[in-house]
Every structure is written in C-alpha cells, then in structure tokens.
Amino acid sequence: MSQKTILVIDDSTTIRRLVDRCLTAAGFRVVAAETAEHGLQLLEEVRPDLIILDHQLPGTTGTEVCKEILKLSDVADTPVLVSSTLRNRAYAEYAELPNVVDMLPKPYSDELLKTTVENALETGTLVVKSQSQGTAVPEVMQQLGEPDISGRFASFRIREVLDFLNNSRRSGTLEIDGDGYRVFLYLQNGRIAGVSAHGIDVDQIASCLPDSLQQFAPILSLTVGGKATSELDGIVELLNRNVVDPRLLRKLLRHQAALLIWRCFGDDLKEFRFTQGAPLPSLVSQLSLDSSVVALLIEGAMRCDEAELPADESDHVYLRSTPRGQNLDRGGTAAKHLKLLAALTERRSAQQVADQLGWSSDEARRVLHAFVLVELIERHTKSDARQIVVFDADPETAGHLRANLDGGEQRYFGKVVGDQFTMDLVLKRAEPEAIVFAISNAEVYETLCELRRSPGQPLADIKWIGLFPADVDKQRILEHMSKHGVDLDATLDHPASAEDLFSVLDEVFQRQERICSETEEHATGETAVEPVVSAGTA
C-alpha cells in the first residue's frame, strides 16, 4: 500500500507548518498551498487522498473551492476535511456538498489532527459516494453486517472455536473480547496470519522482547493498534523499499502474536465474533505468520512471566490426552516440543519429563503448560494411585480393563498390552508396581516365567498377579512355577472385572505394608511369609 498524500489549502503559514510537521511524522506525504488557485492546480497534479481545506481563503471561501472541485470529474470524489475557527456558522454552508466528509475545528491539537485525518481516510471514499448517490452509510466501518459466527465463552472454550476454524480452513477475522481489551486473530485457511489488539499494555509485550528485536520495540505501539493506520502504511512502504528487514519484522509480529494468544488462553474471556472473508491488514498480508495456534502458544509460554505459570509442580503429573474430534493443527511447532507429546505415554512429573528429554525443568514446565491449555495433555494432582501393567491377549477383556485404567483420578492406572513386543516397550518406559498376566496358553506362561526370573531392577520388586481361565490347569502351573523358583503374589479367575482385580491388588499391597511394618518393629526377629492371595469370580 502506497503512502497517503494529504493536500492542505490554508493561507496561514502556522497552520501549514503544523500540518506538515505533524502528518509527515505520522507517515503521510504533505503538499501545501496558500491560495485556492494554487490548491486546485496541485489537486490535479498530485491527486491527493484527502484535502484539508480552510474555510476562509483570500478572495474566496472553502465552499466555493469545494464546488470547483466537484466540477473536475477526475478528482471530484476526493474527500475534503473543512477547518475553521467559525465552527458551526461555517459548517452549515457545507451541508449540501457531497465531497465534504468531516469538520476540523480550529484550534486543534496534533492528536486531534491525526485522529480526524485517519478517520477521514478510512471513511472518506464511502461517505462521498454515499452522499453523491443519496444512500445511507453504515454505522460502523469494517463491520457492515452481522458476523458469520458469534457466541459467548461461557458456552464455548477458545480451544473449541479455534479448532473449528482451523479444521474447516476458514479465512477471516476472529475478534475476542476480554476484560477491557479486544484481540484480533487474522486467519488464512485456518492458520494464524497475524494477531493485533486494542486495550493491551504495549510495555508488557515489549518487556519480553529478545535483544535482537529491541530496536523494533516502538513499532509495537502501532502493530498492537488493531487497525490499518497511516503509520502502518508507512511501515509497509519501508518494506517495499527494502529499508526494513522483513525477517526481523516478521519475528516481531510473531512475538506479538504469541503473547497475545497466550493471554487469550490464560484469561476469562467474554465474547467472540468471526467474520468470514474479512480482508487482512496490509502489514499482516505482506508478512503472514502462517502458524498454528499450538506453535504460537508454546512460544508465548516460553516468553511469559514466571508468575503466569502454575505455582507448584511437585504435586502434579502429566499424561497425553486424546481430545474428541479433530486435533488442532500443530504446524510450525518445534520438533523437540512435539517429541514431548510422543514421549508422554505414561504419567510423568515435570521434572521427570525434563530428565527424560534432557531439558531444563523450566522449559519442561512451560511447554507442558502450553499443551495443557490446548488440551493435548492432562494435568492431574499426584495421588497415591499405583501404576500397573496388564498382559491380556483377549481383545474383549483387555478392552474392559483398559477403559478402567486410562487417565482419571483412581487408585490404579496403567497400560493393557496384548503381545510380547509391546510389553517389552512398556516396561522400558514405565515403572509399574504390579504386573498382571492372563495365562491363557503355554506361550504366555513361558513369557511370564522369563520375566519373573529376571534378577534386574525394577522387575525384581514388582508384585505379580496371575489371571487363570477356567480351561487352564491352574494348580499344575502353580506347582511347576514354584519348583523353578517362580512364585506369584496373587491369582484370580479370568475373565475378571476391573473391580475384582483392584480388590486383589488392594490385598496384596496391604499385606506388603503389614510385613514392612512388622519388620520394622521386630528388626531382630523373623516374620512369617503370608500365603498367596487367591480369588474367584462369580
């Protein structure tokens, strides 16, 4: 987008200098004339985007100048901003002139001048066309109709809204209302092209800038403005002239987007509106981020203040979750961060994740929290629940047990596997307190014996439970195992309900606790070993 040109026609040298100084600093090109004749000549030469016209000129008035402009077909629709000290007395004369879009009362401040000029540039062409044709103008710019999708966050979570827009590959603008601020997410085919806002403290975003971007900190006061201002048009012009490094500017916009999205996920939001097909701001269009929400949220977590993270991680564990429906796109997420999702197949604390991946504990807790916010990971309070592994080759009974061991707050959790290969993988990653084997054939029996005789840790201290189908000679197998030094801590008829299994496990661990207690009380004596627990199912 090219630089906007403003033509100021005013016989006051002071006014011409004020407008030139103020608007040039704001990124406009200013052309000045002190007479009506010179102004009309410049109008046809430079074809300005807006005219600032003094009401009282030597030998004529602004009213007559506007009428002359309307006679020049090539520039008749140029918006005019009338300025006067006479205020209402002067403005009444312009009521029937369609090219006059607004009034600027003298004296005025720099801020009023810039605001009035920016509004006139955004609405001027529409107002001139409307007044020329006798049609009504919309009450609000950039919102000419009802949003395509809208709702309250009391009914929908932000993750659900973004999930829908991402998976349906929508393009447009999503407006999110928070407490005293508004965030604009610009989408292209479901991905984030850019993010801006109103009502956000720019210093909070600037304070987290890396050293390489500190030189661009002043630009944040423009890019968090949430609209296509003339200053932003000036930045685009500098990009077009290769004055500004687009790579560094894109990094700035990504930093801004990451922290704004992070805030949206962390705050209590109010409402949202999505407008399909809304055009992107010029700067966003040229420097589209083309990123997923997941990638930006992780970046926000890595750069946010320590106080915005969960205070105490020592009493919590994490587990990968499987959300309903389609998952959020993860495009642009660092490979090392995706590795965390692949590795988190068992409950792990933040410190265990850090140790497993070779990360710092700070990085682990930040990335984990970002994944929790997008519901790709569950965060649970650490409890006294015990981890177990169940080997059951029967899909039906295995499925029942699996449903009772996945996630949630309960006294037992863990994995159900159906083959030796998966069993070996799970035992390399997990540290179960009990292994449950459904001994349905000789092959399974041999696998159990091989594992049970293992002298290494952690298998040596694990409790072993055997599940015996009715068509298996349970007593013969137990006697054979005992002769070879392989004993079970408990047995149970198979198929077994989850509650029956949990009850037997309760007895085994309670017996262990009693033995440990008695051993401490009688350190010099001997404690008799209790018999194997055996149970049947009705």
HEC readout, 210-269: CHHHHHHHHHHHHHCCCCCCHHHHHHHHHHHCCCCCHHHHHHHHHHHHHHHHHHHHHCCC
Here the tokens at position 460 are 């040596």
Which SS3 state, helix, strand or coil, does residue 17 take? helix
DSSP β-ladder status, 490-494 and 463-469: parallel
- Quote the CA–CA distance of 48 and 5 in Å, as a whole number: 5
* Residue listed under structure tokens 């540290």: 431
DSSP β-ladder status, 412-417 and 434-438: unpaired
Which SS3 state, helix, strand or coil, does residue 91 take? helix
**CA nearest to 347, candidates 371, 323, 392, 381:** 381
- Quote the CA–CA distance of 424 and 333 in Å, as a whole number: 31
Q: Could you give the C-alpha distances from 237 to 118, 241, 282, 356, 375, in angstroms and in order?
A: 17, 6, 10, 49, 41
- Quote the CA–CA distance of 334 and 292 in Å, as a whole number: 11
CA contacts within 13 A on the Cβ side of 536: 3
Here the tokens at position 146 are 């009802």
Question: How is the beta sheet containing 29-33 ordered, strand by strand?
Answer: 29-33, 5-9, 50-54, 80-84, 100-105
Contacts of 449 (CB under 8 A, 6+ apart): 481, 484, 486
Contacts of 241 (CB under 8 A, 6+ apart): none
Q: Which long-range contacts (CB under 8 A, 24 or more apart) does 309-316 make?
A: 309/365, 309/366, 309/369, 310/365, 310/369, 310/379, 313/349, 313/350, 313/351, 313/365, 314/349, 314/382, 315/381, 315/382, 316/349, 316/350, 316/379, 316/380, 316/381, 316/382
The DSSP bridge partners found for residue 182 are: 177, 198
Helix axes 62-71, 36-46, angle to 10 degrees: 30
Residue type, 138: P
DSSP β-ladder status, 50-54 and 56-57: unpaired
pTM: 0.56
| pLDDT on residue 5 | 92
- Quote the CA–CA distance of 318 and 241 in Å, as a whole number: 50
- Quote the CA–CA distance of 189 and 192 in Å, as a whole number: 9
CA contacts within 13 A on the Cβ side of 195: 28
Alpha helices in 304-394 (DSSP H): 335-343, 350-357, 361-373
- Quote the CA–CA distance of 43 and 48 in Å, as a whole number: 7
| pLDDT on residue 141 | 53
Per-residue pLDDT of the chain (538 residues; tens, 9 = 90+): 457 899 999 999 999 999 999 998 888 899 999 999 999 999 999 999 999 999 999 999 999 999 999 999 889 989 999 998 876 676 778 878 888 888 888 888 888 999 899 888 887 777 777 676 665 555 555 544 577 888 999 888 898 899 899 989 999 999 999 888 889 999 999 999 999 888 788 888 888 888 888 877 777 777 775 444 445 555 666 566 666 677 888 888 899 999 999 999 988 899 999 999 888 887 888 889 999 999 999 999 998 888 888 876 677 888 887 665 556 688 888 899 998 988 887 778 888 889 889 999 899 999 999 999 988 888 877 666 788 888 888 888 888 887 777 655 567 887 888 887 888 777 777 778 888 888 877 667 677 767 666 555 456 678 888 888 888 888 888 887 787 777 788 898 888 888 888 889 889 888 887 877 776 666 555 544 555 566 654 3
- Quote the CA–CA distance of 476 and 90 in Å, as a whole number: 111
Q: What is the CA radius of gyration of the chain?
A: 36
> Is the link from the previous residue into 48 a cis peptide, with omega within 30 of 0?
no
